[in-house]
Amino acid sequence: QYDSASNSWRFVNFMLQTRTGAGAASLGGLVYVCGGVDRDSMERFDPKQNQWTLLTATLPMRSAGLALVALGDCLYAIAGNREFGNFKNQVHCYNLYEGTWTESVPLLSPCSCPSATVIRLVADEYIYVFGGDARAGISVHVPMNRLMSQAIQRWKPGMTTWELCRGTLRAPIKAMACCTVSGCDLIEPLLSR
């Protein structure tokens, strides 16, 4: 855990389950981690108590390489893979108050290990999904016979499909960390190139 006042890091308690390729997001002052290789479970970290809790709601399927973002009172688990090479375009929404997962609007094409964040543009908040390992759709060849995406997709609640942004990433990318810094006016021009 990082303390900006002292510019230092400290260890916190370990998660209750080991995870590789899991998604993580912050909602309501708590950290949620779900999925990972051979995992459909979700746990929550309370930084004030330095305590992890295993939640009863599980993802609808085991999923690794997913992106997890918070928008409103929901967590969105985006894409990922069930097993090596079986990429998903599914998006599932976890309602914080109901404690349940429901299916949401799927991405335009399947991918694994995309990056995602929520960006406010004027009065609307969108989920942006960047790149990812791909087998179909908007992708380019990279070494080792893999396809990785340069695509940027966006969606907001109420839309019936994801939009493909006009701009693309300068290079294909996957498994990149991504976050939003509030008060930054540079993102919209970058995404519209």
Residue 190 in this model has a pLDDT that exceeds 70: no
Q: Quickly name the fold that domain 2-181 has.
A: Neuraminidase (2.120.10)
Tokens found for residue 101: 């997962």
Parallel, antiparallel, or unpaired: how do β-strands 23-27 and 133-134 relate? unpaired
pLDDT digits (tens, 9 = 90+) for 65-91: 999 999 999 999 999 987 666 788 999
Give the DSSP H or E segment for 84. Answer: none
Q: What whole-number distance in Å separates Cα of residue 141 and Cα of residue 100?
A: 38
For the chain, domain boundaries:
2-181
pLDDT digits (tens, 9 = 90+) for 24-43: 999 999 999 999 998 999 99
Please enumerate in sequence order all residues whose Cβ is within 8 A of that of 181, keeping only pairs 6 or more positions apart, or say none: none
Q: What predicted TM-score, i.e. pTM, was given to this entire model?
A: 0.86
Output 113 or 183, whichever has higher pLDDT: 113
